[in-house]
Amino acid sequence: PPMGILNNSSQLSSLPLQILFYVNGIYYIFYFLATLAMIIYKSQVFSYPDDFLAPDLAVLFLMAILEVPRLYLGCKGNLREEEAPLGLSLGLTVGSVVLSLYLLAWQTYVLRADVVLNALLLSAYGLEAGLKVTAIAAFVS
Amino acid sequence: PPDARDAAQTRARSAPAPLTDVARLCVCDLLVAQCDTNCCCDPDCSPEDFSLFTTCSVPVVTGDSHLCSQKAAVYSLDVEANPPERIFKLIDQVNPSIFCIHATNYEQALYLKSPEMPTPENFDELLHKFGSAAFSADPQGWNMDTEAPNPPEANETHRYEYGVPIQTEDAFLRLPSPVVSSWCSDANPAGFLVNQATKCIRSVSVEKCDSIPALNMLFYTNSSILAFVLQVNVSVQSIVVQSLNGMRTLLEGNDVLRLPVILGELCSNVVLGVSYHITYTDTGEITEAAAAFVLGAFTKEALSVQQSFQISFTQGNTEPVPLSGNPGYVVGLPVRAGVRPREYPFPAGFVSGRHQLSLVAGTARDCLAAQAARAPVLFGYNAVSGCHLRITAAMECQPVAQTLLDVLKGQSFPEYVASFGNSRAQDVLDWVPITHHVISEQRISTTLQSSCQIPVSLGIEVKWTKYGSLVNPQARIVNVTATVTTTTLRQLPSGRERIIPVTSSVVFTDISAPAEPGYKAWPTINIKLPFDFFYPFV
């Protein structure tokens, strides 16, 4: 039996990680809507041909699709203190980081608001990744 | 050498690079090598010029204002100093908006695209893309049509259309005309169905008069016209010879070719005028071409002659039908009428050649002598005419009545009248039938029905209306009624004769309804979402 399950003072689930998941979920909804609105604004104000618009939208929607299982697996792994879903979530986090980097640096038009939103998201991912690694280490050992 | 040519081509292929340095950009520098007034960024201005300025017309030169941080050149005048001097500062301008462009990975975003330089290779493609009156701004919107549109000359069933140059064996049928100045230019082609008449001056000299081709009849007749099915030779219709004092005589025998000939100080048989007559069919084919020449002569003193050219087109195999209006009847033109031949199963239309609505000629006194002369009914002109008929006792009733009816109505009285001045015989619905009435003059209904009734007057009443728009109403015939009034012929005692006046009249009545205003349709509210509103879901 996993150690510390009967004694509530030595639980292995990470509380900061859980809080971060919760905050991340809410922030991501705001981030997704804001980025989508800004892409629509950019397509109206600037010259945004379809060849350049399609990859940007694809990346945004791919990130949204990845976010749901990432948060779900993370929550499940953290609460059940299982390292497998948490590890999977960490892998998905890496993918999300790459996509967020794309939206920060390689998007067709990077506005100042884009920089701010993506920087916040990347810092949240970074913090999450660190906490997940410690949680996995705690679960494994 | 090909290398130099290639190098020149590559140099020519790229336009000069766009200038993006704000310190060197100046929008108000319009005059080259001269100082523009109040233009503080003009490099041609010296400090003395700056001291005379009052303000700076261009205070700031920046790039795209959407960028977050960019260089800006600021020009201002320091009026406190003596003399006033221009201050130039290069600063970093920061856009405080949160939606400013921080970076862009799309090169064409901030600069206008350099246009493609035309070369012999891509000229056709550029002409196809940009040659029309409008073209799409989106480069993806141009679909490169690799299949070129069919050249019109390649098609066998092509026919001539209005304005198309008439083609001959070598080039085009030439109609020399003055271009820019009064001198003749031989490069003017004749357009199909375009009736033209031109006059131009050609410089001549007696020594070279037989070597100038444009003075020679052969120049105008030797190339045959291509009619896409057959070739039509230009035949010589007539030759008129004009002498030096201007007198013209028509030559007999028009198949003789007269070439310019030098006789001492005179050059004769010189073409002074050509008149082409082209006959065509309604399918656009040219069937005949004839040229009528005016040949003249000129002396040694003449340095130029005036030539006149003309071309006219007539349609062959048609009988011209005179129109009485287009489309409404014109006052004073004859009313068109006809009969409908009884054809089984469907009547094909109207025949209007011989049948015309007409009245007895006004100059006739004796009806029997006046049977041939008739006056046509002209639209809009009410007319009354008549004649006298001499009746003797020996005449029978029925022949007299029939004769009078023939006199009144004419030999071929029509049955239908065209409602418009240009109604075609094929349009059956455009023709109005003539209704006939017979009324008796006697007020009292006589019981003696067997007594002789002879027609004494024919009254044609034409009811017409104004049709079409209020500013340009067209006359349209709606109803035609022919009323024959009969009277009783009393038996004459033998030996006596009687003169009966016979009248025929036509009256035009305007039954136009008052004009109705026509309003345009109510404006509709047209709300439509842009087609890519649900992009990328739809």
**pLDDT per residue over B467-498, tens digit each?**
888 888 899 999 999 999 988 877 777 778 88
Asked if residues B421 and B328 have their Cβ atoms less than 8 Å apart, the reply is yes
Kindly state whether A109 is in contact with chain B, defined as any CB-CB distance less than 8 angstroms. Answer: yes
Annotated domain spans of chain B: 22-94, 164-321, 330-510
Mutate to test the interface with B, among A38, A40, A44, A47 (most CBs of B within 10 A): A47
Kindly state whether B97 is in contact with chain A, defined as any CB-CB distance less than 8 angstroms. Answer: yes
Per-residue pLDDT averaged across B385-389, rounded? 84
> One-letter amino acid identity for B108?
Q
Asked if residues B336 and B343 have their Cβ atoms less than 8 Å apart, the reply is no
Closest listed residue to residue A28, CA positions, set A55, A65, A67: A67
8 Å CB contact of A108 and B105: yes
Shortest CA distance from A113: residue in chain B: B98
Q: Which two three-digit tokens encode residue B35?
A: 């100082």
Which residue from A47, A50, A111 is facing B99, i.e. has the nearest CB?
Answer: A111
The residue that leads in pLDDT, B371 or A139, is A139
Whole-angstrom distance, CA of residue A13 vs CA of residue B387: 130
Kindly state whether B519 is in contact with chain A, defined as any CB-CB distance less than 8 angstroms. Answer: no
Q: What is the pLDDT of residue B156?
A: 47
**pLDDT per residue over B323-363, tens digit each?**
788 888 989 888 888 887 765 434 445 555 566 777 777 66
Eight-class DSSP state of A106: I
8 Å CB contact of B97 and A112: yes
Per-residue pLDDT averaged across B389-395, rounded? 78
Mutate to test the interface with A, among B102, B107, B529 (most CBs of A within 10 A): B102
- Length of chain B (residues): 538
Asked if residues B507 and B462 have their Cβ atoms less than 8 Å apart, the reply is yes
Asked if residues B103 and A105 have their Cβ atoms less than 8 Å apart, the reply is yes
Q: What is the pLDDT of residue B150?
A: 40
Eight-class DSSP state of B215: G
Whole-angstrom distance, CA of residue B329 vs CA of residue B475: 5
The Cα of B97 is separated from the nearest Cα of chain A by a number of Å equal to: 8
Strand residue runs (E) in chain A: 109-111
Kindly state whether B102 is in contact with chain A, defined as any CB-CB distance less than 8 angstroms. Answer: yes
Q: What is the pLDDT of residue B155?
A: 45
8 Å CB contact of A105 and B68: no
Kindly state whether A52 is in contact with chain B, defined as any CB-CB distance less than 8 angstroms. Answer: yes
> Residue B144 pLDDT > 70, yes or no?
no
Whole-angstrom distance, CA of residue A125 vs CA of residue A106: 19
CA distances to B88, B143, B517, B519 from B523, rounded to whole Å, are 57, 36, 17, 11
**pLDDT per residue over B405-458, tens digit each?**
888 888 788 888 888 888 877 778 888 899 999 888 765 555 555 577 888 889
> Residue B139 pLDDT > 70, yes or no?
no
